[in-house]
Structure 1
Amino acid sequence: MSNATGCGCGCGSNANKGLIIETRSAAETTDLKANTVTLEIDGMTCGHCVASVAEELLAVRGVSDVDIDLAAGGTSTATVTTSAPVENSVLEAAITEAGYTPVSVSA
């Protein structure tokens, strides 16, 4: 996943270094106990990368919120809120599906 203009995702952008994007699913659950998981992700370089990872994570059943702190060229951090417990391996698979590398998961 390399692009001559600097972005690793192929969108051609390199202007989003240090970008923080917060995304929320359409259905917010406020009456269920929320669980929070922090994931470290390698390979993200721009806002398009963040959007791709957030989309895959939000597609996981039980995920209600995703906040990603982009560290372009380094290890980015995603904070995932779930309305019910979700296996770490499922979250890691979603990151891999988006084309990036999960480094670690912590509750």
Structure 2
Amino acid sequence: MFIRCAFFQGQVKPGMEDAFNRYIRENLVPLWTRFPGAQEVRVLRQVESDVNDPHFGMVLSVRYPSREAIEIALASEVRMKSKEVSKDMIAMFDGTVFHTVFSADEYALPTD
């Protein structure tokens, strides 16, 4: 499996936290969950860290079965729409955004 993450390194602009989170939930999650081939969508918010820097205002994590599925999703109409809709969210954010693709192994927890 592969996981493509969008790292929002920085901070949500002061006083914009609720609007930022609401905008994601109401406008972007409905698009992200429609990416072709996506098996799971998670929106992560940093609560604490053992280092002060970097800080991540948000991390978007989308799981796919293959690299090919990622390429299809990136070329899709719904992804193009999400890029356009993301502009208003990014205006509420001070920092940089970058994407990384991880290969991922999953292990079952012991049952005893």
Q: How does the TM-score come out when normalised to structure 2?
A: 0.46
Structure with greater Cα Rg: 2
- Higher relative CO (CA 8 A, sep ≥ 6), structure 1 or 2? 2
Q: How does the TM-score come out when normalised to structure 1?
A: 0.48
